[in-house]
Amino acid sequence: MALDDRKSEFNFVGTRPDRPDGLDKVTGRAKFGADAYAPGMLHGAILRSPHAHARIIKIDASKAEAHKDVKAVVTRADFSDKPEFKPGLEGEFWNVLENVMAGEKALYDGHAIAAVAATSALAARDALKLIEVEYEVLPHVTDVDKAMAPDAPVIREGAADYSVPAGMHPNVVRYHESGHGEVEAGFAEADLVIEDSFATEATHQGYIEPHACLAMLGNDGKGELWCTTQGHWYAQKYCAAALGIETAQLRVTASEIGGGFGGKTTVFIEPVALALSRKANRPVKLVMSRSEVFRATGPTSSASMDIKIGMKKDGTITGAQGIFRLQGGAFPGAPGDMTAMCGFAPYNLTNVRQVGYDVMANRPKQAAYRAPGAPMGAFAVESVIDELCKKLGLDPIDVRLKNAAHEGTKANYGPTYERIGLVETLEAAKAHPHYAAPLKPGQGRGISCGFWFNHGGETSVSLALSEDGSAQLMVGTPDIGGSRASMALMAAEVLGIPYENIRVTIADTATLGYNDVSHGSRVTYASGLATIKAAKHAVEKLCERAAVKWGIPGDAVKWEDGCAVPSGPNAGDFDPMPLADITADMGATGGPISGHFEATPEGAGVSFGTHIVDAEVDPETGKTSVIRYTVIQDAGKAIHPDYVEGQFQGGAAQGIGWALNEEYVYGEDGRLQNSIFLDYRIPVASDLPMIDTVIVEVPNPGHPFGVRGVGETGIVPPLAAIANAVSNAAGVRMRQLPMSPPRILAALKENG
């Protein structure tokens, strides 16, 4: 047979066809958030607080309202008063609304105060200058440690939930503690104990496409919203709550998305555009500037961390403890719990304890950023492990292998691991030529492991067959990483028809059941699982129709290579019946054939990676060059290897930025100093080496094809791996990110 040389058990999965959205994107035909227009459309603009913390005494919009080009002005009074303030994350509808449009106080530099809709974007911008706001400026705090100090200004009383121990500052709003064993006993067993403190600054996801939307909301409570988002059902739910309308009356369509990385899992401008539209009775388009994106969307948390680890001379970790304090802006939600749980997750530990704090400060409400919380924790933990290896003269990969978690390990955060691939990534790292390559003077090598949970989430998929034998697949998870290609490959695998014959559409909220956001590395896992099950559902019907045609029982037909065939010699002797022969007359044999799946898949396998980095530090300027980078990660099963490798490389690239130069810089006045890409120093292409990748495949038992999500784990090890490489190159331990040239040069000077 022609396929005799095929080594895979799969026909389509694991191949690398062109992405279905490729031509649209390279020709400019793809429609992103700002590419939508409507007849009579107005343009919105948002007035933002220049203060980090201020009471809003008065908003006088009369001059703006009187301007001939202005059709509506909205403030908080134009939104629903139903969402209630509650402690912690219980009141998330209120938290999101309060973030979208300030209530009594401006809580950070850039917080929305009012908005206008006018006949042009320029008119809207200029009309903002006509709105007079009287503020009472309040003391502010932007640093996580200072925000926890007894004398820190209180952002909001009563925001702490039940988890916070008594006596903590009101800015501490959630508390997490977990672990097992006795850490003090563990430290007593150690030959060497190292305790150190670490800090990371907030970084932004840096997606190239600013938030943009087109909103229409009539006085009948029926609305349409087009927006760039990772989750349009989430947008639907939160916008409906903010506007006080029924969820089902708001139809939300996700545009093509120019990057999200977690930052587009919530809403910022969408409820504002809807409120303006309702008031003006016209469609309203709102597009953020880059400066607004930096000031008023969700960067990641900043962190302050204390790590203590004890190790025996043979490399065995005897005890591990971490205190992780995360600042998440003026609202609850900083993932201190995630940081705490992920830091030690790669290791099989007898004695481990971790504490996470969620702390509020006068900064924008943090949003998810790829494996939210995990990279900072890995930075702190893996730095201390590196230092222990150095002091004890041990190989950093051998030590990690010695302590590596595996199937059956009781994880530091509670559960017992099923089949996982950490050891395989470490073994691949050890065997990789990169690990044995010689280093030149001034260069250093760093290793780090990283962990992320991965997620399942509510998922609906619908697959419809056409008369000509082609298939349309409707999924509800916006394609942020090439998922349409992966979905088509998985559907092709089950149906046995060519990849090209399947059109994958991201359905809007009115045409498919509920879907959780494209986050948690869940899309290829959960929408993929749903696609496979929906395709199998269609195959069952195809077999039934063939059985009817052949006049044999339904269970006497099976599906092979795109055809119905008799299940065995006893079923009868019929030629294979191709899919298109069945669909050609499906109208007459029982009606349209479709497959569906609606559920919440629970088997997202956890994912591990190991990174190897070589860095060179200029001792005279403190400038770091990353000269070689290798990502090794368990993908379970790579459906479309190009996009798996792309996720690995993207995680490393963003990690390099976070480690070396990206940071939110706040002035003494609490205002963001670097709200443009010129001064928020994301890596440019020439800053990066070629990032090599190794896909390890330890199948996830929770997915029919073995998929583990790959989108997030790739950003967990880079901060630590780069810090270890830089520290080894510079000869001085770097405990604060970013490791910018001034910081490295100062450390070198201090070290003599």
Partner 1 sequence: MDYHSPASFVEASALAANATGITRFLAGGTDVLVQLRSDLVTPDTLIDIKKINGVRDITRNADGSWTLGVAATGAEMSEHPELGRDWPGVVEAMDLIGSTQVQGRATLTGNLCNGSPAADSVPAMVAAGVTVTVTGPDGARELAVEDIPTGPGKTALAKGELISAVNIPARGANGGDAYLRFIPRTEMDIAVVGVGVNLRLDGDKIIEARVSLGAVAPTVLLVEDCAKAIIGTTLDEVALDALATAASAACNPIDDKRGTIEFRTEVAGVLAKRTAKIAYARAKGEHA
103-132 binders of partner 1 (CB under 8 A): 125
Residue 360: phi and psi, rounded to 5, are -95, 150
Rounded alpha-carbon distances, angstroms, from residue 397 to 190, 215, 448: 19, 53, 9
Q: How far is the CB of 667 from partner 1 (least distance, A)?
A: 9
* Contact assessment for residue 227 and residue 252, using Cβ atoms and an 8 Å cutoff: yes
Residue 96, class by beta-carbon neighbours within 10 Å (0-12 exposed, 13-18 middle, 19+ buried)?
buried
Q: Which stretch binds partner 1 (CB under 8 A): 70-78, 497-505, 697-705, 742-750?
A: 742-750
What token pair was written down for 387? 């230092």
Nearer to partner 1, 124 or 507 (CB): 124
Closest listed residue to residue 504, CA positions, set 465, 472, 460, 467: 472
Please give the single-letter amino acid code of residue 693: T
Strand-strand pairing, 607-617 and 471-475: unpaired
What is the footprint of partner 1 within residues 672-691 (CB under 8 A)?
673-674, 678-679, 681, 683-684, 686-687
Shortest spacing between CB 453 and partner 1, in angstroms: 33
Of 306 and 687, the one with the shorter C-beta distance to partner 1 is: 687
DSSP H or E segment with residue 480? none
Q: Write down the least CB distance from residue 128 to partner 1, Å.
A: 10
Q: Do 318 and 182 touch, CB atoms closer than 8 A?
A: no
Q: Which is nearer to partner 1, 16 or 129 (CB)?
A: 129
**Cα 75–chain centre separation:** 31
DSSP 8-state assignment for residue 120: S
Q: Which is nearer to partner 1, 145 or 687 (CB)?
A: 687
Single out the segment in contact with partner 1 by CB under 8 A; choices: 6-14, 581-589, 628-636, 660-668: 660-668
Nearer Cβ to partner 1 (554/667): 667
In terms of CB distance, is 66 or 684 closer to partner 1? 684
Residue 304: strand pairing partners: 199, 325
396: helix, coil or strand?
Answer: helix
Min dist. Cβ of residue 578 to partner 1 (A): 52
Q: Is there binding between residue 741 and partner 1 (CB under 8 A)?
A: yes
- Residue 68: CB minimum distance to partner 1, A: 19
- Of 198 and 664, the one with the shorter C-beta distance to partner 1 is 664
Task: Report how far residue 316's alpha carbon sits from residue 309's, in angstroms, rounded to the nearest whole number.
Answer: 11
Q: Which is nearer to partner 1, 678 or 690 (CB)?
A: 678
Residue 109 CB, nearest approach to partner 1 (Å): 14
Q: How far is Cα 734 from Cα 658, in angstroms, rounded to an integer?
A: 14
Residue 751 near partner 1 by CB under 8 A: no
Residue closer to partner 1 (CB basis): 90 or 687: 687
Spatial neighbors of 31 by CB under 8 A, at least 6 apart, are 255, 256
Distances (CA, A) of 578 to 54, 543, 585: 69, 11, 12
Q: Which is nearer to partner 1, 161 or 687 (CB)?
A: 687
β-bridge mates for residue 609, sequence order: 450, 633
- Take residue 145 and report the two structure tokens written for it: 């440690």
Sign of CA dihedral 540, 546, 552, 558: negative
**To the nearest whole angstrom, how small is the minimum distance from the Cβ of residue 44 to partner 1?**
16
- Piece of 74-82, 260-268, 301-309, 741-749 that binds partner 1 (CB under 8 A): 741-749
In the complex, what is the shortest distance from the CB of residue 350 to partner 1, in angstroms, rounded to a whole number? Answer: 43
Q: Which of 345, 660 has the CB closer to partner 1? A: 660
Rounded CA separation 657/205 (Å):
10
Nearer to partner 1, 183 or 660 (CB): 660
511/621 with CB nearer partner 1: 621
Nearer to partner 1 by C-beta: 431 or 746?
746
Q: Which amino acid is at 27?
A: T
Is 712 within 8 Å of 521 (Cβ atoms)?
Answer: yes
Q: How far is the CB of 146 from partner 1 (least distance, A)?
A: 19
Q: How far is the CB of 744 from partner 1 (least distance, A)?
A: 10
User: How near is the Cβ of 30 to partner 1 at its closest, in Å?
Assistant: 22
Smallest separation, CB 625 to partner 1 (Å): 8
Residues numbered 701-740 forming contacts with partner 1, rule: CB under 8 A? 740
Q: What is the C-alpha separation between 239 and 714, in angstroms, rounded?
A: 32
Least CB distance to partner 1 at residue 679 (A) = 5
Nearer to partner 1, 120 or 511 (CB): 120
Does position 745 bind partner 1 by CB under 8 A?
A: yes
| Residue at token pair 């038992």 | 701
Show contacts with partner 1 in window 532-571 (CB under 8 A): none
* Residue 178 or 674 having the CB closest to partner 1: 674
Which positions ≥6 away from 149 have C-beta within 8 Å?
169
Report CA-CA distances (Å) from 587 to 12, 548, 581, 592: 29, 14, 12, 6
- Give least dist CB 131 to partner 1, A: 15
Q: Please count the residues of this chain forming the interface with partner 1, following the rule CB under 8 A.
A: 24
Q: DSSP letters of 180-228?
A: ES-HHHHHHH-SEEEEEEEEE-------SSPPEEEEEE-TTS-EEEEE-
User: 162 to 191, contacts with partner 1 by CB under 8 A?
Assistant: none
Q: How far apart are CA 591 and CA 600, in angstroms?
A: 29
To partner 1, the closest distance from the beta carbon of 740 in angstroms equals 6
What is the nearest approach in angstroms of partner 1 to the Cβ of residue 110?
15
Of 479, 530, 477, 468, give the one whose Cα is nearest residue 502: 468
Q: Which is nearer to partner 1, 80 or 674 (CB)?
A: 674
**Residue list 280-299, contact with partner 1 (CB under 8 A):** 289, 291
| Least distance between partner 1 and beta carbon 202 (Å) | 14
Site for partner 1 in 141-160 (CB under 8 A): none
Q: Minimum distance from CB of 291 to partner 1 (Å)? A: 7
Nearer to partner 1, 8 or 621 (CB): 621
Which residues 40-99 are close enough to bind partner 1 by CB under 8 A? none
- In the block, tokens 């969402």 appear at 83
List the interface residues with partner 1, window 600-639 (CB under 8 A): 620-623
CA dihedral (743, 746, 751, 752) positive or negative: positive
Question: Looking at 77, 437, 510, 665, which residue binds partner 1 (CB under 8 A)?
Answer: 665
What spatial distance separates the first Cα and last Cα of the chain, rounded to whole Å? 70
Q: Which of 76, 79, 136 is nearest to 102 (CA)?
A: 76
Q: Which of 406, 510, 746, 751 binds partner 1 (CB under 8 A)?
A: 746
Question: Do the Cβ atoms of 146 and 138 come closer than 8 Å?
Answer: no
User: Rounded to an integer, what distance in angstroms lies between the CA atom of residue 542 and that of residue 563?
Assistant: 9
Chain position carrying tokens 């009141």: 91
- Using an 8 Å Cβ cutoff, are 496 and 561 in contact? yes
User: What does the CA dihedral 52, 330, 453, 19 come to, rounded to 10 degrees?
Assistant: -60
Binding site for partner 1 (CB under 8 A): 125, 289, 291, 620-623, 660-661, 665, 673-674, 678-679, 681, 683-684, 686-687, 740-742, 745-746
